[in-house]
Chains A and B, each alone.
Chain A
């Protein structure tokens, strides 16, 4: 029993964090679609979960959870979870995936639209007759309005006759993408809390920093508690996925719901603490607010995951892992 990340796992996250600080600063969110991707690719980020025969490192999901948190903390745009996590389960054999040269989006059961599909070289689409690998050339994309300016959504149409059919079940990819998204939500929530605390320390009203008022303190403390107790559920879900634990479906849903709720609480409080300036397009905060909302809805809404947990637990599955 050692429920703490190893030095290697934390070092990977620190490297990702440094790269994104340098190459995905908040300003880049306004001007670039995939800031920092080239540098992440150079680190081998897109091959972390791929097996060695696909030029990957063959790591488990739990190994990369802290690194995925960092992509959320940086509000990294682009189909990160789809390319680095889902693709590794769905299309590991695609050449050059590990190098980051191939960008992937997915439209799996539970998703309504494919995120960042306009950037994708390949889109994996689940249909009534199984999974199809849709190339950029054969996809007809229709943009759909979304909440997140850095995570545009698309409807995908294609001619099935011209698209390769993929074998294998979709559930492993879906579970991984869901946990990876939950990890990003934890990162988003941590950043929202950090910027709100920083603002509350310097913003002065009535002659005092607003962070000295208990009404402000207690809201921020509640965010800290929510994040603190959502994160272990996400860590456990990653271990359950890696270990093929019997309760994995329930544990993945518990993690996604908790992370989504923590992030939306963090967003709500962040906006309240910032006040009117937070309610503007010009403050970078808007990107993290939008990311909390968009990822909470991605790979199953909080309500959908709560439903799944409720059905499992009320149905008698009160087994504990560990």
Chain B
């Protein structure tokens, strides 16, 4: 057991820090506005030019073939530099791992390099009006037609769909519940998109209506009827370290401690320090998880423990910042961060569902 970065890892950290120090832009407008979306997309292209947009991907798709530890280092530096949120995150963190694992070589070649540059921006389309935490209750269908499939149904809370170019989600091709679901990718051109304003007033997600949208065979990811298994591989990475690496929480914790230093109430300062230590705990835990993944072990249901921990830590940090700032909060980035952190215990499977998973599948309690 050790906690030592290798010389190569330290060198990589220095390179990333140096590049971001020179190139990271100041705050951009929200990615959920037309001008902000364009600015975030342009930033992704700059990152890709430096081969820093997807460092852990194979080189042929725009990455560096970097290890998981290198990727965690990248994330720490990225968030510490105050660099923009990733408009490509649904694609690069959720869809891409599935494409790498279940996609055909043609699909990987076609989609991954464009995704890595932000040429295509992907929206996720999991939830439906009657299928949220209970995702297997979804009713959107795919009917076979010559040369492909016709998609019909209604998806909602689809993150980034207001401005994205493509989407991915599950459609029923047969059966009931978890059986008979198939994983589809689709361009958003033929889908009726109704943007939905979030708490911040901007359309961070959207409703999607599919009225016989055609998807050819190449848009099916994995085998027909295997969608649930593939999607679970995605949600496991969403809950786990790919979507929410420690770097973002470490950066927030540092900023929170700086804010709390001047707090008149020592109890508030104490809460800030607790958050700071918890962010450290998440970081250390993630190094342990990375070790397991690199050794070929599956994280599985244990990812739910991480999801509960990071989402509630993030909310505690931002709620504390709101308390510390009072009426001044609105003039700072903490307000947007607070609103975003409130979504953490809801998306990627609510924390109630995560606690059920921990109880049943980690601890072995009866269903």
The interface of chain A, by Cβ under 8 A from chain B, is: 1-6, 9, 62, 193, 197, 200-201, 208-209, 211-212, 214, 216-218, 220-222, 224-225, 228-230, 232-233, 235-236, 239, 254, 257-258, 306, 309-310, 313-314, 318, 320-322
From A62, A218, A257, A310, give the contact of B352 (CB < 8 A): A218
List the B side residues contacting A208 at CB < 8 Å.
366
Given A1-B9, A314-B261, A201 and B366 touching (CB < 8 A)? yes
**Using a Cβ–Cβ cut-off of 8 Å, how many residues does chain B contribute to the interface with A?**
49
List the A side residues contacting B364 at CB < 8 Å.
197, 201
Q: Which of B278-297 contact A (CB under 8 A)?
A: 278, 280-285, 287-288, 290-292, 295
Q: Which of B2-50 contact A (CB under 8 A)?
A: 2-6, 9
Pull 6 A–B residue pairs with CB atoms less than 8 Å apart, ordered by A.
A1-B69, A4-B1, A201-B364, A218-B355, A221-B355, A225-B308
B348 within 8 A of A: no
Quote the shortest CB–CB distance from A65 to chain B (angstroms): 8
Binds A, one of B51-59, B187-195, B198-206, B269-277: B269-277
Contact A212 B366 (CB under 8 A): yes
The interface of chain B, by Cβ under 8 A from chain A, is: 1-6, 9, 69, 250, 254, 257, 260-261, 269-270, 273-274, 276-278, 280-285, 287-288, 290-292, 295, 302, 305, 308-309, 352, 354-356, 358-360, 362-367
A1, A218, A236, most chain B CB atoms within 10 A: A1
Quote the shortest CB–CB distance from A174 to chain B (angstroms): 20
List the A side residues contacting B360 at CB < 8 Å.
217
With both beta carbons as reference points, the residue of chain B lying nearest to A233 in the complex is identified as B281
A3, A225, A318, most chain B CB atoms within 10 A: A3
Given A212-B366, A220-B359, A306-B270, A235 and B4 touching (CB < 8 A)? no
Given A3-B2, A218-B359, A232 and B277 touching (CB < 8 A)? no
Docked CA distance A6–B151 (Å): 51
List the A side residues contacting B358 at CB < 8 Å.
221, 224-225
Contact B1 A309 (CB under 8 A): no
Contact A314 B2 (CB under 8 A): no
From B4, B273, B283, B291, give the contact of A310 (CB < 8 A): B273
Quote the shortest CB–CB distance from A81 to chain B (angstroms): 20
Quote the shortest CB–CB distance from B345 to chain A (angstroms): 13
List the B side residues contacting A229 at CB < 8 Å.
278, 281-282, 285, 305, 309
Contact B288 A314 (CB under 8 A): no
Contact B355 A3 (CB under 8 A): no
Quote the shortest CB–CB distance from B307 to chain A (angstroms): 10
Contact A197 B285 (CB under 8 A): no
From B276, B285, B365, give the contact of A220 (CB < 8 A): B365
List the B side residues contacting A239 at CB < 8 Å.
1-3
List the A side residues contacting B284 at CB < 8 Å.
3, 232-233, 235-236
Quote the shortest CB–CB distance from A311 to chain B (angstroms): 9
Contact B4 A1 (CB under 8 A): yes
Given A218-B355, A306-B270, A2 and B277 touching (CB < 8 A)? no
With both beta carbons as reference points, the residue of chain B lying nearest to A315 in the complex is identified as B261
Contact A313 B276 (CB under 8 A): yes
Quote the shortest CB–CB distance from B50 to chain A (angstroms): 24
